[in-house]
Amino acid sequence: MPAAIVVKNLTKEFEVPAEGKTGVVATLLRKNKKIRAIDRVSLAIQEGEILGYIGPNGGGKSTTIKLLTGILTPTQGEATVIGFTPWKERSEYTRHIGVVFGQKSLLNWDVAPVESFRLYKEIYEMDEATYAARIHYLAKLFTIEQFMHTPTRKLSLGQRMRCELVAALLHKPRVLFLDEPTIGLDAIAKQKMREAIREVNRKEKTTIILTTHDMNDIEELASRIMILDKGKIIYEGDLDKMKNEFAQEHKIVFEPNRVKDEKKFAQFIEKYDAEQSGRFYTLVFNSKTIKPKRVLDELFDLCDLEGFEVFAPTLEEVIREIYAHQPA
C-alpha cells in the first residue's frame, strides 16, 4: 500500500523576543532568538491509515498539522501529502484534504449548517446530484438531519462538531486532519463521532491524522501512534507493540471463596507481596517476567474464587511511562 504522507527532517523555527531588560530603549534594542517548534520530524503514513499523533501542549503537534495542511512553511525539510507539497501547491492541494480544528469552526455562526454546506458545494464545484447524494450519506451517518437546518449558534457543542465533520468530508477528501475533534463533548456524543469516523475510514479509505488529549479517541480509532515531545518524535509504533513494551505492571484483585491449602496460599500471598483489605487481595506483578495467565493458574490451583479482575495499565499511564524514560 502506497504512503499517503511522507515527511523527512521537517523543521520549523520561530523568532521570539529574547529575554532581557525592560523599558522602551531596552525593548527596541533587544534581539530575537529562535526556537524550534518541531525538530527534524520524519514520518510515513500509509493510505487509509489512522495515525494517533499525540504530545503535551507546546510539543509541536499543531505546528506539524499546520505545515502538513500548508498553513505554515517549514524552515527546512520535505513533505509530500498525496503527491503535493502542501505549502507550495496549497490552492490545488486543499481541494483533496479535510481539516477539523476543535477551536476553529468551518461553519457560519449565524446561519444553519446546511447553508455552510451549500457554500462549500460551490467552493468545491460539486454538481447538484453529487452534492445531494453526499449530504444524504453524511447527514445520516453523523445523525444531523434533525438540526442541520437550525442556526449554528443554537446547536449544542456535540451537534456542531458533527456538522463540522460533515463540512470537512463533503468533498470526499483523501486525507483528513482532526485536531481535538471530540473536545468538550459528552460520552455519548464522543462515541457517535468515533463510530462515524471509523465508518468513513473503512468505506472510503480516508487517511486520517488524529491529534487529541483524549486517549479513548486514540484507542478506539488509531492503529498506530506517534508521540511528540519538545518538537521531536520520541516513540512510534502500533498500540499493541507499545503496550507490550511499556505496560508491564499489572494488577489482580481477587476475593477467595474457599482456600484449598492454607500453607501454600500464604506462601503465594507472600511471594507476590499481596495486600489484603477485608476479603479482597491485591497483587502487583511485572508482566514481562511473568504472564497474567500464569499468576491466575497458580491462584486457581490454590483456591476457589468468588471473583477476580485483572487490571492492565491505561494508555495514559503507558504514555506517562514513555515520557518518564526521556532524558531531562
Condensed to tens digits (0 to 9), the pLDDT of residues 233-260 reads: 988 888 878 877 777 788 999 999 999 9
| Contacts for 151 with CB less than 8 Å, ≥ 6 apart | 109, 110, 111, 112
Structural domains in the chain, sorted by start: 3-244 (3.40.50.300), 248-312 (3.30.70.1150)
Residue 291 has pLDDT above 90, yes or no: no
Residue 66 phi/psi, 5° resolution? Answer: -65, -35
pLDDT (0 to 100) of residue 205: 95
Q: What mean pLDDT value characterizes the chain?
A: 89
pLDDT (0 to 100) of residue 118: 96
CA atoms of 107 and 161, how far apart (whole Å): 10
Residue 265 has pLDDT above 80, yes or no: yes
C-alpha cell at 226: 506517534
Q: How many residues does the chain have?
A: 328
pLDDT (0 to 100) of residue 62: 87
Higher pLDDT, 20 or 251: 251
Mean pLDDT of 270-277: 91
Mean pLDDT of 271-287: 90
Q: Could you tell me which residues are beta bridge partners of residue 104?
A: 101
Angle of CA points 285, 291, 292, to nearest 5°: 70
Residue 27 has pLDDT above 70, yes or no: no
26 confidence band (pLDDT: 50, 70, 90): low
3-state secondary structure of 59: coil
pLDDT (0 to 100) of residue 29: 63
CA atoms of 144 and 146, how far apart (whole Å): 6
Residue 102 has pLDDT above 80, yes or no: no
